[in-house]
Amino acid sequence: MTTRATQSDKTKPATAKKSVASARPKATAETAKTKVPSPSLVTETPAVVGGSELRKKELLDMVVERTGVKKKFAKPVAEAIMDILGDALAEGRELNLHPMGKIKQQRSKEVANARVIVAKIRQSRPGNSASDNTMDTLADAAE
């Protein structure tokens, strides 16, 4: 005995609810293009134009000229200072060396034959530091 399926069993009734997705208007290629914002430059970082690179020899000559100390005495001191600063940076230490500024390490990574350190330097503007104000007060008191 075989039973026959009726037409109503095979199809859904015509009064079925529409889905929410089908109620929304379909996006066309034209409407999709108008909704996408065009890329724009938000802020522009000015290019940093620096002078020539300061080498150790030039630094030593400047130290000798500024201090009046003989080069044979200034060289070991300057090299020791650079060595200590390099070690401190390698350890990830923050440097606060007035008037050079405050040097804060942002990130670092090891590469094949070197360590790359990205750091920020915050340098006070001349005449704005607290030590300058203290010196002026002391000078006024001494006069």
Residue-level pLDDT at 11? 55
Positive or negative CA dihedral for 122, 128, 134, 136?
A: positive
pLDDT tens column, 56-101: 999 999 999 999 999 999 999 999 999 999 999 989 999 999 989 9
Task: Please give the mean pLDDT across all residues of the chain.
Answer: 76
pLDDT score of 127 more than 60: yes
Residue-level pLDDT at 68? 94
Pick the closest to residue 73 from 83, 81, 64 (CA basis): 64
| CATH number at 56-125 | 4.10.520.10
Q: What is the mean pLDDT of residues 109-129?
A: 86
Sheet holding 95-97, edge to edge: 95-97, 101-111, 114-122
Neighbours of 69 (CB within 10 A): 13
pLDDT score of 137 more than 50: no
pLDDT score of 50 more than 90: no
Report d(CA 89, CA 119) in Å as an integer.
9
Q: Which amino acid is at 53?
A: E
- According to DSSP, the residues that pair with 122 across neighbouring strands are 102
Check: pTM over 0.85? Answer yes or no. no
pLDDT tens column, 1-25: 555 555 555 555 555 555 555 555 5
